[in-house]
A = this chain, B = another copy of it.
Amino acid sequence: MTSSVRVLGIDPGLTRCGIGIVDVRADRSATLVHVGVARSDPAAPIEVRLAAIAAGIRAAVDAHAPEVVAVERVFAQHNRQTVMGTAQASGIALLVAGERGLPAATHTPSEVKAAITGYGSADKRQVQAMVARVLRLDALPTPADAADALAIALCHAWRRPLGPVGGGAALTPAQRAWAQAERRARS
């Protein structure tokens, strides 16, 4: 691995699919590369909608060459009405990764919250505020799906080399320093 890793985060959705790309260095500092959403027309047939989502994700991959793809995990028991579309969109995101030879991973919403804010029950706004702070953005990325995609990308990069944030005794000195900085940033 180079000294930084470029991560594509995907917040899967059929109407709006969040796409966020960040470069994350070994010291956990991060830079925004790209943020946006792939959209599809809710009135269009499902096959056309999924093709639009795939095209949007492929365009971001081709433009920015991420090294790894992280997708928010979808649960069958949540939001039954929309879960199938969300599951299909997550499948499309994973497919694009596989077809480009990129490794992919999924993270649960609470893993993302814990990695970004230090606790798994943080609310969406706290996550978004932390993302904006870490990436030194003047404003919260909008729509929320785009900010969520950045959070997923950061979560993946931070969990991989260093393990979850806030693990207490298991933390290295560098992790402890980071956790303290995060607590200061939140307070």
User: Is A22 part of the contact surface with B, judged by Cβ < 8 Å?
Assistant: no
Q: Quickly give the copy total for this chain.
A: 2
Contacts of A84 in B (CB 8 A): 74, 76, 87
Give the residues from 47 to 103 in chain A that come closer than 8 angstroms, CB to CB, to chain B: 47-51, 54, 69, 74, 76-77, 80, 83-84, 87-92, 94-95, 97-99, 102-103
Interface size range of chain A in the complex: 20 to 34
* A104, CB-defined interface residue at 8 Å: yes
Is there an interface contact between B69 and A102, defined as CB atoms closer than 8 Å?
A: no
A137 sits at the interface (CB 8 A)? no
Please indicate the chain B residues that have their CB under 8 angstroms from the CB of A102 in the complex: 47
Q: Taking A76-B80, A76-B83 as contacts, is the C-beta distance between A91 and B45 under 8 angstroms?
A: no
The verdict on A87 contacting B91 (CB below 8 Å), with A47-B69, A47-B103, A76-B80 known, is yes
Q: Residues of A at under 8 Å CB distance from B?
A: 45-51, 54, 69, 74, 76-77, 80, 83-84, 87-92, 94-95, 97-99, 102-104, 106
Could you list 28 A-B pairs, sorted by A, with CB under 8 Å?
Answer: A45-B104, A46-B98, A46-B104, A46-B106, A47-B69, A47-B97, A47-B98, A48-B98, A49-B98, A50-B95, A51-B98, A51-B99, A54-B95, A54-B99, A74-B84, A76-B76, A76-B77, A76-B83, A76-B84, A83-B87, A84-B87, A87-B87, A87-B88, A88-B88, A88-B90, A88-B91, A88-B94, A91-B91
